[in-house]
């Protein structure tokens, strides 16, 4: 995404991201993502609660919920800023 932003006007590009929501991107990446014309984030979640933690060993369900909360907060922020 960093390289793309140096080559083209990303405010004219729709960005599609796929994630399993196990890692929350750092603030500098979110700041760059907000500059795209439109952002679509698809989350693949295998299960919920302890079942998710079993299937995705090492992942914590609370982290997934934090990612989802952050995603919706940023979505609202992007809508307000457009």
pLDDT per residue of the chain (82 residues) written in tens, 0 to 9: 888 899 999 999 999 988 877 777 788 888 888 889 988 888 788 888 999 889 888 888 888 888 887 777 666 665 555 5
Cβ atoms of 64 and 71 within 8 Å: the answer is: no
Q: What pLDDT shows up at residue 51? A: 93
Eight-class DSSP state of 8: S
Rounded distance between C-alpha atoms, residue 27 and residue 57, angstroms: 26
Q: What pLDDT shows up at residue 78? A: 59
Eight-class DSSP state of 24: P
Rounded distance between C-alpha atoms, residue 56 and residue 40, angstroms: 23
Q: Which of 30, 12, 17 is nearest to 74 (CA)?
A: 30
Q: Give the tokens for residue 4.
A: 């793309």
User: What is the reported pTM?
Assistant: 0.64
């Amino acid at each position: 995404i960093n390289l793309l932003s140096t080559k083209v006007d990303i405010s004219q590009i729709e960005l599609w991201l796929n994630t399993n929501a196990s890692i929350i991107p750092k603030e500098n990446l979110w700041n760059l993502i907000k500059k795209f014309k439109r952002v679509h984030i698809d989350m693949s979640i295998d299960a919920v609660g302890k079942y998710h933690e079993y299937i995705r060993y090492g992942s914590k369900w609370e982290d997934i919920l934090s990612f989802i909360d952050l995603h919706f907060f940023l979505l609202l922020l992007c809508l307000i800023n457009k």
